[in-house]
Amino acid sequence: MNVDTLIVGAGFSGSVIARLLAENTKQKILVIDSRDHIGGNCYDYVNKFGIRISKYGAHLFHTTRQDAWNFISAFGRWERWEHKVLAKIYPRDVSDHCIYVPVPICIKSVQNLYDSSVQSEDDIRRWFAEETKAVKFQAPYKNSMESAVARFGNRIYNDFFHSYTFKQWGKFPEHLDASVLERIPIRYNNDDRYFTDPIQMLPSGGYTEVFDQLLDHPQIEVSLNTDYFHERHCFNGVNFTVFTGPIDGYFASRGLDRLEYRSIHFEEFTFEMEDRDAVIQPASVVNEPSMRVPYTRIVEFKQFLNQQSPYSTLVREFSTSNGDPYYPVPNERNTKLYAIYQQLAEKETVKERRKVLFLGRLANYKYLNMDQAIGNALDHWQQWIKDGMIKIH
Ligand code: FAD
Ligand code: UDP
């Protein structure tokens, strides 16, 4: 096979490396993906109702990494978009009466749900001090329950995090690393945006257009519906492989226990609307922390970039342990097991004459946002140059 580098996976991790190699070397690059499309989990398309849908759940780009943004903004077309999320809370969890409150918790959330006298930063700081004063947990926290109760107090923990996390992960927060709930900040002001990063964008032509352009280079060939695990033998002659699939799949023949992942089952509904601007729910994403419903959130895709359509498509997300691997599950068992896979990966990377790099959310078994996946690929590239592994033309 006349290929210098094989890249397994056409998500951001694989596609960014492919582009860097193509632009800076004379190498021929083959990108394969087992799916029938490029873009990995960021793949999107316009449905028959004229609404852009992300096949694997809503994707909001946000970053503080200027280098990642400088790189990716050269592909596709991007527009600023500040994401907002509301959680649907049933105050006494007995009636059908519900309140929509902003997540992350900010002054407005506390006002609407618990204490209307909270108006200022001083008020909300005092309010949280009161909520958490009886909490005994101290850093370093052993798990997500401890870290969340210590920061938010028991009321918010129970209303927002306990059940949602169980629905999302199949485990209560006490069985997950502290890092899971540490992702959620507290806002001591009235900023109800989901992210505060200076760079918050959505691609107006969709993520798939970004990937089309990333991979559009005469030195890059893309082969879809090609599963590395089935076709591995065809690639023995390749000098270098970048593997962005699940690391436990790569080493399946070693007979170790498998790593745990969460997947999502998506249920789609489309409604005819009265006019092209009309929407159904009060925010693009409504989280459902209550055990009353089995899904975690509902996404109304039309709201992203204010799309116009006489219809609206909503997608409910049900978390499940079966299906495509999306989320690595961060707990003690998986961290220990991943360390063993990581050792195998390090050996494989330096094994004589067969160089392999393990990169991305699945190969590094790490909860990575898009900018982190792009940033990691850029960091690896810089390291290769430093180590003299790449001849730049
Ligand atoms: P992936 O996109 O998963 O790409 C890996 C590719 O490898 C896949 O296409 C897969 O088909 C392919 N592959 C796997 N095994 C094989 C094989 N054996 N042979 C061939 N191909 C194979 N990030 C954000 O920044 N903002 C968000 O709002 C956001 N929302 C998300 C919502 C959901 C539901 C999920 C699951 C993720 C979200 N992310 C978000 C994270 C984002 O999807 C990842 O950061 C990004 O996809 C990582 O890119 P990747 O290339 O590492 O992995
Ligand atoms: N979470 C929660 N309630 C919410 C929002 C988030 O309990 O209303 C928890 C949940 O465990 C989730 C984690 O916080 O997995 C991180 O949330 P984030 O929105 O960052 O994750 P995403 O769904 O975007 O991957």
Q: What does the pLDDT look like over 18-77, one tens digit per residue?
A: 999 999 999 999 999 999 999 999 999 999 999 999 999 999 999 999 999 999 999 999
Measured CA distances, 379 to 16, 224, 261, 287 (Å): 11, 27, 26, 34
State the pairing for strand pair 327-328/311-320.
Answer: unpaired
Measured in Å, residue 174 CA sits from the centre of ligand 2 at 15
Is residue 275 assigned to a domain? no
Q: Among the atoms of ligand 1, which is closest to the Cα of residue 227?
A: 19
Provide the token pair at 270: 């489309």
Last residue of a domain, one of 182, 199, 223: 182
Q: What is the C-alpha separation between 211 and 361, in angstroms, rounded?
A: 17
Ligand 1 is surrounded, with C-beta below 6 A, by 8-14, 32-35, 40-42, 56-61, 227-229, 244-245, 264, 326, 360-362, 368-371, 373
Instruction: Please indicate, yes or no, whether residues 346 and 234 belong to a single structural domain of this protein.
Output: yes
ipTM of the complex: 0.98
- Whether the CB of 273 sits within 6 Å of ligand 2: no
Nearest residue to 327 via CA among 129, 53, 56, 79 = 56
Is residue 295 assigned to a domain? no
The domain spanning residue 238 has which CATH number?
Answer: 3.40.50.720
Measured CA distances, 315 to 164, 244, 280, 286 (Å): 17, 27, 12, 11
Judged by its nearest atom, the ligand closest to the C-alpha of residue 304 is: 1
Measured in Å, residue 299 CA sits from the centre of ligand 2 at 14
Measured in Å, residue 391 CA sits from the centre of ligand 2 at 42
Measured in Å, residue 3 CA sits from the centre of ligand 2 at 41
- Whether the CB of 103 sits within 6 Å of ligand 2: yes
Q: What is the C-alpha separation between 24 and 100, in angstroms, rounded?
A: 50
Residue-level pLDDT at 353? 55
Which residues fall within 8 angstroms of residue 163, CB to CB, at 6 or more apart? 289, 290, 291
What phi, psi does 152 have (nearest 5°)? -105, -20
Is residue 374 assigned to a domain? yes
* Protein residue closest via CA to atom 23 of ligand 1: 369
- Provide the number of structural domains found in the chain: 2
Is residue 333 assigned to a domain? yes
Measured in Å, residue 58 CA sits from the centre of ligand 1 at 12
Nearest residue to 62 via CA among 186, 198, 193, 192 = 198
Which residues fall within 8 angstroms of residue 187, CB to CB, at 6 or more apart? 104, 105, 106, 107
Is residue 298 assigned to a domain? no
Q: Among the atoms of ligand 1, which is closest to the Cα of residue 35?
A: 11
**Which residues form the domain of 250?**
5-38+215-259+328-386
Q: What is the C-alpha separation between 53 and 247, in angstroms, rounded?
A: 29
Judged by its nearest atom, the ligand closest to the C-alpha of residue 266 is: 1
Q: Write the DSSP symbol of residue 197.
A: -
Is residue 64 assigned to a domain? no
Place of tokens 């023949």: 253
Q: What sign does the CA torsion over 63, 66, 71, 75 have?
A: positive
> With contact defined as beta carbons under 8 Å apart, do 37 and 60 qualify?
no
Question: Alpha-carbon Rg of the chain, whole angstroms?
Answer: 23
Q: What is the C-alpha separation between 261 and 324, in angstroms, rounded?
A: 8
CB count, 10 Å around CB of 145? Answer: 21
* Amino acid at site 368: L
Instruction: Please indicate, yes or no, whether residues 121 and 247 belong to a single structural domain of this protein.
Output: no
Nearest residue to 145 via CA among 123, 169, 129 = 169
| pLDDT tens digit sequence for 136-160 | 999 999 999 999 999 999 999 999 9
Q: Could you tell me the maximum CA-CA distance found in the chain, to the nearest angstrom?
A: 70
Q: Among the atoms of ligand 1, which is closest to the Cα of residue 38?
A: 9
Nearest residue to 360 via CA among 248, 262, 245 = 245
Instruction: Please indicate, yes or no, whether residues 170 and 246 belong to a single structural domain of this protein.
Output: no
Within the chain, which residues score under 50 in pLDDT?
352
Torsion of CA 248, 253, 257, 260, to 10 degrees: 30
Q: Where are the alpha helices (DSSP H) in the chain?
A: 12-24, 66-72, 107-113, 121-132, 144-152, 154-156, 163-169, 179-182, 207-214, 228-231, 247-250, 332-350, 370-386
- Whether the CB of 181 sits within 6 Å of ligand 2: yes
For residue 185, is the peptide bond before it cis, meaning its omega torsion is within 30 degrees of 0? no
Instruction: Please indicate, yes or no, whether residues 241 and 137 belong to a single structural domain of this protein.
Output: no
Place of tokens 């975690």: 296
Instruction: Please indicate, yes or no, whether residues 177 and 221 belong to a single structural domain of this protein.
Output: no
Is residue 55 assigned to a domain? no
Last residue of a domain, one of 131, 157, 182: 182
Is residue 313 assigned to a domain? no
Residue-level pLDDT at 352? 47
Instruction: Please indicate, yes or no, whether residues 168 and 89 belong to a single structural domain of this protein.
Output: yes
Instruction: Please indicate, yes or no, whether residues 252 and 372 belong to a single structural domain of this protein.
Output: yes
